[in-house]
A = this chain, B = another copy of it.
């Protein structure tokens, strides 16, 4: 009897839940109608479709109500996000605007175009790529042969070979243990897996523009939202800490730093890093520090590992220091709990980094990059010297492999300039590939021999003289 009654009640509750569900969909429809009307008015008033402030207000109200009702705010946040994204999509269709994508014209697309031109017989000087032109350490050859002879070509732990993790921990120092190290498929996968481990859809990541475009890609991929703090040449690419503070909302989860910086060559002073860490601490934020250029620092640079912030993820790789780009070996340093999550992402996506490549990296662990660093520094000095005599403003790079000059004068669109240069046989990276508000900039890479650099800069000079 009791059982029968329960079944009856179950059936009644199911009817109720269906009705509530349909009621929700009905309200969602109403919401979308309102959103369309708002879109029309915005179109007439020529206002941007996305309005951060209004969005944050709605988010705030939803969170407040969720707390009051005892709903998990992460859950209601996800629901809200899906609705907001759909609203934006509908408004965009209405205004016939393309979906908001970042500049598609980056150093990579220039590289592809340059390759096309080359295959049709044109000679191109490659000042657009961030790939060293010098060879990797010699011991790698032996390591490759040994990996075959010793049958070291199997699945490994998703976190990487214990030996390699220990060697990286030792090299990084600052009390790091091998438990706090993951070997990844390039520094790229370390950041990718960190963001996918941390971020839930709708949550926010702050990065500092101009920046490597991949940060935005990772966050988009995770269904999150990137917010960019813009820095300026006038302020010598120093981020405004107060502005940074104002950008942090309760949805913010991560701040990404990248020093020595690609593309500006900036190395941020310790006092700013300290302030940013303190902001992160106060707001419970993760910090991802992309330090792949750390060997190429021409002034004092301190790794984030030094600060012992427990929500930090420090990323580096063998690609730039050891000129091992194509081996795809990088690593992440973080507390074990975070490493375990990143390893889970790597295990799902690709099991582990190829074992022979891990042995190649292990053989290069004690490699001294001083010669490479000296070479890049000399080339950067050469580029800087040449640019001084043209209509460019820039800071002399304090690190990394690039100069990021801004053109004085008429050309307001980097893409036009880049295209012109490409037709003259010189590939440079458009400034806007690193942030939409840097259309007057270009990135010149020091990954070519001096002779080619000189020749490339002559071409740049010739085009400048015409303006």
Interface size on A, residues (CB 8 A): 94
Nearest CB in chain B to that of A354: its residue: B328
Kindly state whether residue A382 has any CB partner on chain B within 8 Å. no
Identify A357's interface contact among B80, B82, B354, CB under 8 A. B354
Q: Which of A133-141, A271-279, A286-294, A308-316 forms part of the interface with chain B?
A: A133-141
CA distance A140 to B145 in the complex (A): 10
> Which residues on the B side are within 8 Å of A25 (C-beta)?
62, 65-66, 69, 71, 76, 79-80
**SS class, residues of chain A in contact with chain B:** helix
Kindly state whether residue A198 has any CB partner on chain B within 8 Å. no
Inter-chain contact B22/A37, CB cutoff 8 Å: no
Inter-chain contact B22/A61, CB cutoff 8 Å: yes
Nearest CB in chain B to that of A31: its residue: B20
Q: Which residues between 173 and 222 of chain A lie within 8 Å of chain B, taking CB atoms? A: 185-186, 188-189, 192, 201, 214, 217-218, 221
- Copy number in the complex reads 2
Q: Which of A345-353, A371-379, A419-427, A436-444 forms part of the interface with chain B?
A: A345-353
Q: Which residues between 134 and 171 of chain A lie within 8 Å of chain B, taking CB atoms? A: 135-136, 140-141, 144-145, 147-149, 151-156
CA distance A349 to B195 in the complex (A): 11
Inter-chain contact A32/B71, CB cutoff 8 Å: yes
Q: Min CB distance, A301 to chain B, in Å?
A: 25
From known contacts A31-B24, A65-B22, infer whether A188 and B349 are also in contact, taking CB-CB under 8 Å. yes
Identify A75's interface contact among B45, B72, B82, CB under 8 A. B82
Kindly state whether residue A465 has any CB partner on chain B within 8 Å. no
Kindly state whether residue A17 has any CB partner on chain B within 8 Å. yes
Kindly state whether residue A86 has any CB partner on chain B within 8 Å. yes
9 A-B pairs within 8 Å (CB atoms) are namely A17-B34, A18-B57, A144-B144, A144-B148, A144-B356, A153-B325, A153-B326, A155-B325, A328-B352
**A residues engaging B (CB < 8 A)?**
3, 6-7, 9-10, 13-14, 16-18, 20-32, 34-35, 37-38, 41-42, 44-45, 54, 57-58, 61-62, 65-66, 69-72, 75-76, 78-80, 82-83, 86, 131, 135-136, 140-141, 144-145, 147-149, 151-156, 185-186, 188-189, 192, 201, 214, 217-218, 221, 223, 324-329, 348-357, 360
